[in-house]
Amino acid sequence: MLLWDDVNRYAEHANPEPEIRVFKSDDEWKALLTPEQYRVARQKGTERAFSSDMCNMFEPGIYACVCCSTMLFDSTNKFQSGTGWPSFTQPVKSNAIAYHADKSYGMERIEAVCNACGAHLGHVFPDGPEPSGLRYCINAVVLKKVIR
Query: Could you read off the pLDDT of 112-127 as tens digits, one per residue?
Result: 999 999 999 999 999 9
Instruction: Compute the 3-state secondary structure of the chain and give helix, strand, coil in percent, each to the nearest 5.
Output: 25, 25, 50
Q: Which residues are catalytic?
A: 137
146 vs 66: CA distance, rounded Å: 11
Residues 6+ apart with CB under 8 A from 48: 84
pLDDT tens-place string over residues 20-61: 999 999 999 999 999 999 999 999 999 999 999 999 999 999
**pLDDT-based confidence at 148, cuts 50/70/90?**
low
pLDDT tens string 52-78: 999 999 999 999 999 999 999 999 999
- Bridging pattern class, strands 78-79 and 120-125: unpaired
What is the number of other CB atoms lying within 10 angstroms of the CB of residue 118?
18
pTM strictly above 0.75: yes
CATH numbers and ranges of domains, the chain: 4-146 (2.170.150.20)
